[in-house]
Structure 1
């Protein structure tokens, strides 16, 4: 995969910053969206995984910065998940699986992304409950392993968990998810590199494109912004990617 090849897919270059914008607005890095788009354009798995992790690191770092500035971070909620997710993300990044299973698992995870974008888990919690440390440690390990294995940060799974269990408000969920995604993506990428994986040169172009969308999305998302119509469009794109992944597995 070369830079010249990327210019043969102008639609991808147009959609990537939009994906970064929307995901960053809710504290996510966007890896599930990047992977969905790259799968639609039939990119090889060897390109998809490291590229998604690098883009995830960039956007989640920007997103966390803006949410942290708004004082939305709940550190006591973050630590139990991160404690187990970081080593398991490294393990997942170190491993490789058959393309068939990769597509099936990725498509299943993307279902969470679609539901999150459609607001299924997005209702504000009026009462936040105390966190269960043993359960959080277990959930962190599971999400971390899947994150490293697939090339995502895990926020798309963590966010629904936090909201459904009433462990955080929407803004707290966004802040915790952003940092969770950042540390998992770094750990997963280190695991990938430890096994001898290399970063595709063409990823540098995507980094520049995605950065702009991530900054703008994180800035407005940490304040107040209505992106419902754009989220429906992205949910449709992800739905198409899910269908393709399931049917081509």
Structure 2
């Protein structure tokens, strides 16, 4: 019975997170902790499930025409080596997770308030935001590389794909439309998760493969959620879901 409850929880987490371009690592970590899995199993298992869901999400959002390689490539180029280094390192996480929880909670409140205040519940096109990134091409590139490197390192250190860091940053910076940010986050999470796994392997850690039932649950939830996010959900709903996901990640870090 417990096994099937875990499967159902993983599928639900995957669906909710994938709808906003995330893959669910923070949710999987919280769920597996509640079900009493060993800590050395939780981190690599969450990353493997991340790879499954982020792959599906990347394809879905790209199919819908929301992927922007000019935004993604500078972020990924810096994040991949940084995530590998983070995956290789071991860091005491208690104080870090406390700060992380507060930051994510603030981001959740801000994004949720903006969504409720805007009232832009449109299912079709959405207005392009006025970006806060530098207009100069080189300065913009440097800013994106810096963001990618910092997020990649943090992601590798705590064993997540980085969407919970990247999404609020890109939203605050108004780097792109909401669905383009979701598409960027999905692809970013995919490459970061792979880099984090590689860093762990280089450090000599084993990567226990999750059971097929967990992989199937994550894949099904990811397919449902990413389809809704890429094709169906209105912009305001996506923003509210993003706020919910960040609030869940904040609670996981603080509790």
Global fold match (TM > 0.5): yes
TM-score after normalising by structure 2: 0.80
Aligned-partner SS, 1:54: helix
Equivalent residue in structure 2 for 1:164, among 172, 183, 186: 172
Aligned-partner SS, 2:208: coil
Distance 2:249 2:176 in 1: 26
Residue 184 (structure 1) aligns with: 192
1:178-224 alpha-carbon deviations (Å, 9 max, x no partner):
11111111111100111111122444432122111011111121111
Distance 1:142 1:159 in 2: 13
Residue 151 (structure 1) aligns with: 159
Residue 230 (structure 2) aligns with: 222
Residues 83-102 of structure 1 correspond to what in structure 2 (within 5 A)?
A: 83-98=77-92, 100=94
Moved over 6 A (4+): 226-236
> How many residue pairs were aligned?
237
Q: Provide the alpha-carbon RMSD of the alignment.
A: 3.0
CA contact (8 A) 1:121 1:163 kept: no
Equivalent residue in structure 1 for 2:149, among 141, 152, 170: 141
Distance 1:45 1:211 in 2: 23
Equivalent residue in structure 2 for 1:16, among 1, 7, 10: 10
The 10-residue stretch of structure 1 (217-226 or 200-209) with the greater mean CA deviation from structure 2 = 200-209
Runs of 5+ unmatched residues, structure 1: 1-6, 245-249
TM-score after normalising by structure 1: 0.82
Classify 1:232/1:93 alpha carbon distance in 2 versus 1 (closer, same or farther; 3 Å): closer
**Is the aligned partner of 1:62 residue 2:73?**
no
Deviation at 1:112, TM superposition (A): 7.0
- Give the number of the structure with larger relative contact order, counting CA–CA contacts within 8 Å between residues 6 or more apart: 2
Residue 119 (structure 1) aligns with: 112
Runs of 5+ unmatched residues, structure 2: 119-125, 135-139
